[in-house]
Structure 1
Protein backbone atom coordinates (compact mmCIF):
# COMPACT_ATOMS: atom_id res chain seq x y z
CA UNK A 1 0.00 0.00 0.00
CA UNK A 2 1.31 3.45 -0.92
CA UNK A 3 1.63 5.50 2.24
CA UNK A 4 1.68 9.31 2.42
CA UNK A 5 5.07 10.99 2.75
CA UNK A 6 5.19 13.43 5.67
CA UNK A 7 6.46 16.80 4.48
CA UNK A 8 8.73 19.41 6.00
CA UNK A 9 7.21 21.12 9.01
CA UNK A 10 5.50 18.00 10.35
CA UNK A 11 6.72 17.33 13.92
CA UNK A 12 7.21 13.60 13.27
CA UNK A 13 10.25 14.48 11.13
CA UNK A 14 11.98 16.14 14.10
CA UNK A 15 11.54 13.36 16.68
CA UNK A 16 14.27 10.85 17.50
CA UNK A 17 13.15 7.36 16.50
CA UNK A 18 12.99 4.38 18.83
CA UNK A 19 14.69 1.01 18.47
CA UNK A 20 12.79 -1.84 16.86
CA UNK A 21 12.71 -5.34 18.37
CA UNK A 22 11.85 -8.69 16.76
CA UNK A 23 8.33 -8.53 18.20
CA UNK A 24 7.46 -5.44 16.14
CA UNK A 25 3.84 -5.92 14.97
CA UNK A 26 3.33 -6.49 11.24
CA UNK A 27 6.93 -5.63 10.34
CA UNK A 28 6.79 -7.43 6.99
CA UNK A 29 3.70 -5.47 5.92
CA UNK A 30 5.29 -2.18 7.00
CA UNK A 31 8.45 -2.97 5.03
CA UNK A 32 6.42 -3.96 1.95
CA UNK A 33 4.50 -0.67 2.23
CA UNK A 34 7.73 1.31 2.65
CA UNK A 35 9.27 -0.25 -0.48
CA UNK A 36 6.10 0.40 -2.48
CA UNK A 37 5.91 3.99 -1.23
CA UNK A 38 9.58 4.66 -2.00
CA UNK A 39 9.36 3.27 -5.54
CA UNK A 40 6.09 5.06 -6.27
CA UNK A 41 7.60 8.35 -5.06
CA UNK A 42 10.74 7.71 -7.13
CA UNK A 43 13.10 7.87 -4.16
CA UNK A 44 16.27 5.88 -3.53
CA UNK A 45 15.68 5.72 0.21
CA UNK A 46 12.90 6.10 2.74
CA UNK A 47 13.04 6.29 6.52
CA UNK A 48 10.11 5.36 8.77
CA UNK A 49 9.65 8.94 10.09
CA UNK A 50 8.86 9.99 6.52
CA UNK A 51 5.72 7.85 6.70
CA UNK A 52 4.84 9.02 10.20
CA UNK A 53 6.49 6.23 12.20
CA UNK A 54 9.27 7.08 14.64
CA UNK A 55 10.91 3.69 14.37
CA UNK A 56 14.54 3.01 13.43
CA UNK A 57 13.75 1.52 10.01
CA UNK A 58 15.16 2.53 6.61
CA UNK A 59 14.82 1.06 3.13
CA UNK A 60 17.34 1.92 0.41
CA UNK A 61 17.60 0.88 -3.24
CA UNK A 62 20.54 2.83 -4.65
CA UNK A 63 20.66 0.94 -7.96
CA UNK A 64 18.84 3.77 -9.78
CA UNK A 65 21.98 5.95 -9.49
CA UNK A 66 24.38 3.06 -10.15
CA UNK A 67 25.31 4.31 -13.63
CA UNK A 68 26.67 7.55 -12.16
CA UNK A 69 27.95 6.07 -8.89
CA UNK A 70 29.22 2.47 -9.35
CA UNK A 71 29.27 1.83 -5.58
CA UNK A 72 25.45 2.10 -5.70
CA UNK A 73 24.89 -0.46 -8.46
CA UNK A 74 22.79 -3.37 -7.22
CA UNK A 75 22.75 -2.08 -3.64
CA UNK A 76 19.47 -2.66 -1.81
CA UNK A 77 19.14 -2.62 1.99
CA UNK A 78 16.58 -2.95 4.72
CA UNK A 79 18.21 -1.29 7.72
CA UNK A 80 16.75 -1.83 11.16
CA UNK A 81 18.40 -0.07 14.11
CA UNK A 82 21.30 1.16 11.96
CA UNK A 83 24.41 2.64 13.56
CA UNK A 84 26.96 4.73 11.68
CA UNK A 85 30.60 5.15 12.60
CA UNK A 86 32.42 7.93 10.76
CA UNK A 87 35.73 6.77 9.24
CA UNK A 88 38.11 9.59 8.45
CA UNK A 89 37.35 13.25 8.13
CA UNK A 90 37.30 13.76 4.37
CA UNK A 91 34.05 15.43 3.32
CA UNK A 92 32.58 16.08 -0.09
CA UNK A 93 29.72 18.46 -0.86
CA UNK A 94 27.03 17.23 -3.25
CA UNK A 95 23.44 18.17 -3.93
CA UNK A 96 20.83 16.21 -2.01
CA UNK A 97 17.08 16.11 -2.29
CA UNK A 98 14.43 14.50 -0.12
CA UNK A 99 10.89 13.24 -0.60
CA UNK A 100 9.92 15.23 2.50
CA UNK A 101 11.29 18.45 0.92
CA UNK A 102 9.87 18.20 -2.62
CA UNK A 103 11.50 20.14 -5.46
CA UNK A 104 14.37 21.33 -3.28
CA UNK A 105 18.02 20.36 -3.41
CA UNK A 106 20.99 21.81 -1.59
CA UNK A 107 24.71 21.17 -1.46
CA UNK A 108 25.47 19.18 1.68
CA UNK A 109 28.92 18.26 3.03
CA UNK A 110 29.17 14.65 4.21
CA UNK A 111 31.98 12.26 5.03
CA UNK A 112 32.92 9.86 2.27
CA UNK A 113 33.59 6.73 4.32
CA UNK A 114 31.51 5.09 7.08
CA UNK A 115 31.10 1.81 8.89
CA UNK A 116 27.46 0.74 9.01
CA UNK A 117 26.03 -1.76 11.51
CA UNK A 118 22.41 -2.90 11.28
CA UNK A 119 20.05 -5.81 11.44
CA UNK A 120 17.98 -6.82 8.44
CA UNK A 121 14.29 -7.74 8.24
CA UNK A 122 15.11 -11.14 9.81
CA UNK A 123 17.09 -9.44 12.60
CA UNK A 124 20.32 -10.90 11.26
CA UNK A 125 23.25 -8.59 12.12
CA UNK A 126 25.41 -6.99 9.42
CA UNK A 127 28.43 -4.71 9.35
CA UNK A 128 30.01 -3.11 6.30
CA UNK A 129 32.33 -0.27 5.35
CA UNK A 130 30.64 1.96 2.76
CA UNK A 131 32.07 4.80 0.70
CA UNK A 132 31.13 7.45 -1.81
CA UNK A 133 27.59 8.29 -2.81
CA UNK A 134 26.22 5.16 -1.15
CA UNK A 135 27.61 6.41 2.18
CA UNK A 136 25.84 9.73 1.51
CA UNK A 137 22.48 7.99 0.93
CA UNK A 138 22.87 5.96 4.14
CA UNK A 139 23.81 9.05 6.18
CA UNK A 140 20.88 11.02 4.72
CA UNK A 141 18.35 8.31 5.60
CA UNK A 142 19.82 7.65 9.05
CA UNK A 143 19.67 11.38 9.79
CA UNK A 144 15.87 11.04 9.59
CA UNK A 145 16.03 8.59 12.51
CA UNK A 146 17.69 11.31 14.60
CA UNK A 147 15.11 13.96 13.69
CA UNK A 148 17.48 15.68 11.24
CA UNK A 149 16.98 16.80 7.65
CA UNK A 150 19.63 17.49 5.05
CA UNK A 151 18.97 21.22 5.24
CA UNK A 152 20.26 21.11 8.82
CA UNK A 153 23.72 20.58 7.30
CA UNK A 154 23.52 23.79 5.26
CA UNK A 155 24.50 27.26 6.44
CA UNK A 156 22.00 29.51 8.23
CA UNK A 157 22.28 31.96 5.32
CA UNK A 158 21.39 29.23 2.83
CA UNK A 159 18.38 28.18 4.94
CA UNK A 160 17.25 31.81 5.03
CA UNK A 161 17.50 32.01 1.24
CA UNK A 162 15.16 29.02 0.82
CA UNK A 163 12.78 30.09 3.61
CA UNK A 164 10.02 30.96 1.10
CA UNK A 165 10.15 27.47 -0.43
CA UNK A 166 10.15 25.87 3.02
CA UNK A 167 7.16 27.97 4.07
CA UNK A 168 5.30 26.91 0.92
CA UNK A 169 5.72 23.28 2.02
CA UNK A 170 4.63 24.03 5.59
CA UNK A 171 1.59 26.00 4.38
CA UNK A 172 0.47 23.17 2.08
CA UNK A 173 1.13 25.17 -1.10
CA UNK A 174 3.52 22.56 -2.52
CA UNK A 175 1.89 19.85 -4.58
CA UNK A 176 3.58 16.65 -5.73
CA UNK A 177 2.62 13.50 -7.62
CA UNK A 178 2.69 11.19 -4.60
CA UNK A 179 0.46 11.06 -1.50
CA UNK A 180 1.62 13.44 1.24
CA UNK A 181 0.78 14.57 4.74
CA UNK A 182 1.32 18.23 5.48
CA UNK A 183 2.22 19.71 8.86
CA UNK A 184 -0.78 20.26 11.13
CA UNK A 185 -2.18 23.77 10.85
CA UNK A 186 -1.51 25.96 13.86
CA UNK A 187 -4.62 27.34 15.50
CA UNK A 188 -4.92 31.08 15.68
CA UNK A 189 -5.58 32.43 19.17
Structure 2
Protein backbone atom coordinates (compact mmCIF):
# COMPACT_ATOMS: atom_id res chain seq x y z
CA UNK A 1 0.00 0.00 0.00
CA UNK A 2 1.25 3.45 -0.95
CA UNK A 3 1.71 6.42 1.37
CA UNK A 4 0.82 8.76 -1.49
CA UNK A 5 -2.36 10.76 -1.02
CA UNK A 6 -5.26 10.34 -3.42
CA UNK A 7 -5.39 12.75 -6.34
CA UNK A 8 -8.49 14.95 -6.17
CA UNK A 9 -10.80 14.38 -9.13
CA UNK A 10 -12.83 16.88 -11.15
CA UNK A 11 -15.87 17.86 -9.08
CA UNK A 12 -13.92 17.96 -5.81
CA UNK A 13 -14.28 21.57 -4.53
CA UNK A 14 -10.55 21.76 -3.66
CA UNK A 15 -9.80 21.95 -7.39
CA UNK A 16 -11.77 25.21 -7.60
CA UNK A 17 -10.09 26.75 -4.54
CA UNK A 18 -7.56 29.59 -4.65
CA UNK A 19 -4.44 28.24 -2.95
CA UNK A 20 -2.94 30.00 0.09
CA UNK A 21 0.66 31.25 0.25
CA UNK A 22 3.22 29.30 2.22
CA UNK A 23 4.66 31.46 5.02
CA UNK A 24 7.16 29.21 6.82
CA UNK A 25 9.33 26.94 4.68
CA UNK A 26 11.01 25.59 7.79
CA UNK A 27 7.73 24.05 8.90
CA UNK A 28 8.18 20.28 8.64
CA UNK A 29 4.67 20.03 7.18
CA UNK A 30 5.73 22.10 4.16
CA UNK A 31 8.72 19.85 3.51
CA UNK A 32 6.48 16.79 3.96
CA UNK A 33 4.01 18.27 1.47
CA UNK A 34 6.78 18.69 -1.10
CA UNK A 35 7.86 15.08 -0.53
CA UNK A 36 4.24 13.93 -0.95
CA UNK A 37 3.88 15.87 -4.20
CA UNK A 38 7.11 14.43 -5.60
CA UNK A 39 6.18 10.86 -4.60
CA UNK A 40 2.62 11.19 -5.90
CA UNK A 41 3.58 12.64 -9.28
CA UNK A 42 6.15 9.87 -9.69
CA UNK A 43 3.72 7.12 -8.67
CA UNK A 44 1.05 8.50 -11.04
CA UNK A 45 3.63 8.79 -13.85
CA UNK A 46 2.70 12.46 -14.22
CA UNK A 47 4.80 15.42 -15.31
CA UNK A 48 3.49 17.94 -12.78
CA UNK A 49 1.25 18.23 -9.75
CA UNK A 50 -0.12 21.07 -7.61
CA UNK A 51 -0.80 20.85 -3.87
CA UNK A 52 -4.52 21.41 -4.42
CA UNK A 53 -4.58 18.17 -6.40
CA UNK A 54 -3.72 16.28 -3.23
CA UNK A 55 -6.24 18.30 -1.23
CA UNK A 56 -3.71 20.70 0.27
CA UNK A 57 -4.72 24.36 -0.33
CA UNK A 58 -1.18 25.76 -0.58
CA UNK A 59 0.77 27.52 -3.32
CA UNK A 60 3.16 24.65 -4.01
CA UNK A 61 3.64 22.76 -7.25
CA UNK A 62 6.13 20.34 -8.73
CA UNK A 63 7.37 19.95 -12.29
CA UNK A 64 8.76 16.52 -13.11
CA UNK A 65 8.96 16.21 -16.90
CA UNK A 66 10.02 12.87 -18.35
CA UNK A 67 9.04 10.78 -21.36
CA UNK A 68 6.08 8.49 -20.62
CA UNK A 69 3.26 6.73 -22.47
CA UNK A 70 1.10 9.84 -21.88
CA UNK A 71 3.85 12.25 -23.04
CA UNK A 72 6.40 10.28 -25.10
CA UNK A 73 8.21 13.41 -26.35
CA UNK A 74 8.48 15.11 -22.96
CA UNK A 75 11.98 16.31 -22.08
CA UNK A 76 13.77 14.65 -19.17
CA UNK A 77 14.47 16.89 -16.19
CA UNK A 78 15.16 16.57 -12.48
CA UNK A 79 11.91 17.22 -10.57
CA UNK A 80 11.66 20.64 -8.94
CA UNK A 81 9.37 22.11 -6.31
CA UNK A 82 8.11 25.68 -6.67
CA UNK A 83 6.76 27.39 -3.56
CA UNK A 84 4.66 30.55 -3.94
CA UNK A 85 5.35 30.73 -7.68
CA UNK A 86 4.59 33.89 -9.63
CA UNK A 87 4.32 34.32 -13.37
CA UNK A 88 6.29 37.53 -13.99
CA UNK A 89 6.52 37.61 -17.80
CA UNK A 90 5.50 35.62 -20.84
CA UNK A 91 6.13 35.49 -24.55
CA UNK A 92 3.66 36.93 -27.01
CA UNK A 93 3.72 33.63 -28.89
CA UNK A 94 1.13 31.11 -27.87
CA UNK A 95 1.05 27.43 -28.83
CA UNK A 96 -2.03 25.25 -28.77
CA UNK A 97 -1.34 21.62 -27.91
CA UNK A 98 -2.85 18.60 -26.19
CA UNK A 99 -3.09 18.42 -22.40
CA UNK A 100 -4.42 15.94 -19.92
CA UNK A 101 -4.63 16.03 -16.15
CA UNK A 102 -4.33 13.54 -13.32
CA UNK A 103 -7.42 15.19 -11.81
CA UNK A 104 -9.40 14.81 -15.04
CA UNK A 105 -8.54 11.24 -16.03
CA UNK A 106 -9.39 9.89 -19.45
CA UNK A 107 -9.85 13.25 -21.23
CA UNK A 108 -7.49 15.27 -23.42
CA UNK A 109 -8.00 18.74 -24.85
CA UNK A 110 -6.12 21.25 -26.97
CA UNK A 111 -5.13 24.23 -24.83
CA UNK A 112 -3.42 27.48 -25.85
CA UNK A 113 -0.45 28.38 -23.65
CA UNK A 114 2.43 30.83 -23.78
CA UNK A 115 5.49 29.38 -25.50
CA UNK A 116 7.78 30.87 -22.81
CA UNK A 117 7.23 32.11 -19.27
CA UNK A 118 9.45 33.75 -16.70
CA UNK A 119 8.66 32.78 -13.13
CA UNK A 120 9.79 33.59 -9.63
CA UNK A 121 9.45 31.07 -6.86
CA UNK A 122 11.05 29.95 -3.65
CA UNK A 123 12.78 26.59 -3.77
CA UNK A 124 12.51 24.09 -0.94
CA UNK A 125 15.74 25.42 0.63
CA UNK A 126 14.19 28.90 0.89
CA UNK A 127 16.12 30.53 -1.96
CA UNK A 128 14.30 32.87 -4.33
CA UNK A 129 14.63 31.63 -7.90
CA UNK A 130 14.03 33.47 -11.17
CA UNK A 131 13.76 31.14 -14.15
CA UNK A 132 12.51 30.98 -17.72
CA UNK A 133 10.65 27.90 -18.92
CA UNK A 134 9.98 27.23 -22.59
CA UNK A 135 8.03 24.69 -24.65
CA UNK A 136 6.62 21.71 -22.82
CA UNK A 137 8.08 22.78 -19.45
CA UNK A 138 6.36 26.18 -19.81
CA UNK A 139 3.12 24.31 -20.57
CA UNK A 140 3.49 22.18 -17.43
CA UNK A 141 4.14 25.25 -15.32
CA UNK A 142 1.08 27.10 -16.67
CA UNK A 143 -1.13 24.02 -16.21
CA UNK A 144 -0.07 23.53 -12.58
CA UNK A 145 -0.11 27.29 -11.88
CA UNK A 146 -3.74 27.31 -13.02
CA UNK A 147 -4.50 24.69 -10.35
CA UNK A 148 -3.28 27.16 -7.71
CA UNK A 149 -5.95 29.56 -8.99
CA UNK A 150 -8.80 27.04 -9.00
CA UNK A 151 -8.65 26.34 -12.74
CA UNK A 152 -8.39 23.08 -14.67
CA UNK A 153 -7.28 22.71 -18.28
CA UNK A 154 -10.88 22.28 -19.43
CA UNK A 155 -11.41 25.95 -18.51
CA UNK A 156 -8.81 26.90 -21.15
CA UNK A 157 -10.05 24.70 -24.02
CA UNK A 158 -11.35 27.08 -26.69
CA UNK A 159 -13.26 24.54 -28.78
CA UNK A 160 -15.03 21.55 -27.24
CA UNK A 161 -14.61 19.74 -30.55
CA UNK A 162 -10.95 19.54 -29.53
CA UNK A 163 -11.66 17.24 -26.61
CA UNK A 164 -11.16 13.49 -26.84
CA UNK A 165 -10.84 10.45 -24.65
CA UNK A 166 -7.41 9.14 -23.73
CA UNK A 167 -7.82 5.96 -25.85
CA UNK A 168 -8.75 8.07 -28.92
CA UNK A 169 -5.82 10.41 -28.22
CA UNK A 170 -3.48 7.43 -28.07
CA UNK A 171 -4.91 6.03 -31.32
CA UNK A 172 -5.29 9.23 -33.34
CA UNK A 173 -2.55 11.52 -32.10
CA UNK A 174 0.24 9.37 -30.71
CA UNK A 175 -0.04 6.59 -33.30
CA UNK A 176 -0.88 9.14 -36.04
CA UNK A 177 -3.87 7.14 -37.26
CA UNK A 178 -6.60 9.27 -38.83
CA UNK A 179 -10.23 8.89 -37.84
> Could you state the TM-score of these two structures normalised by the residue count of structure 2?
0.81
Q: Which runs of 5+ in 1 are unaligned?
A: 166-189
Q: Which runs of 4+ in 1 moved over 6 A?
A: none
1:104 maps to which of 103, 107, 112: 107
Greater RCO structure (CA 8 Å; 6+ sep): 1
SS of 1:46 mapped into structure 2: strand
Match of 1:144 among 134, 138, 147: 147
Q: Does 1:33 align with 2:63?
A: no
Q: What corresponds to 2:93 in structure 1?
A: 90
> C-alpha displacement at 1:67, in angstroms?
6.9
DSSP 3-state at the match of 1:54:
coil
Distance 1:19 1:129 in 2: 22
**Alignment root-mean-square deviation, CA:** 2.3
For the Cα contact (< 8 Å) 2:38–2:79, is it kept in 1? no
Pair 1:6 & 2:8 matched? yes
Distance 1:89 1:119 in 2: 25
Shift in alpha-carbon separation, 1:46–1:109, aligned structure 2, 3 A: same
**Which of the residues 12, 18, 21 maps onto 2:20?**
18
Structure 2 residue 61 is matched with structure 1 residue 58:
yes
> TM-score, normalization: structure 1?
0.77
Number of corresponding residues = 160
Q: Is the 8 A contact 1:56 1:82 kept in 2?
A: yes
- 2:73 matches 1:68: yes
Q: 1:33 Cα deviation (Å)?
A: 1.5
SS of 1:63's equivalent?
A: coil
Unaligned stretches of 5+ in structure 2?
166-179
Map 1:113-132 to 2 at 5 A. Answer: 113-132=116-135
2:173 counterpart residue number: none
Inter-partner Cα distance in structure 1 for 2:150 and 2:80: 21
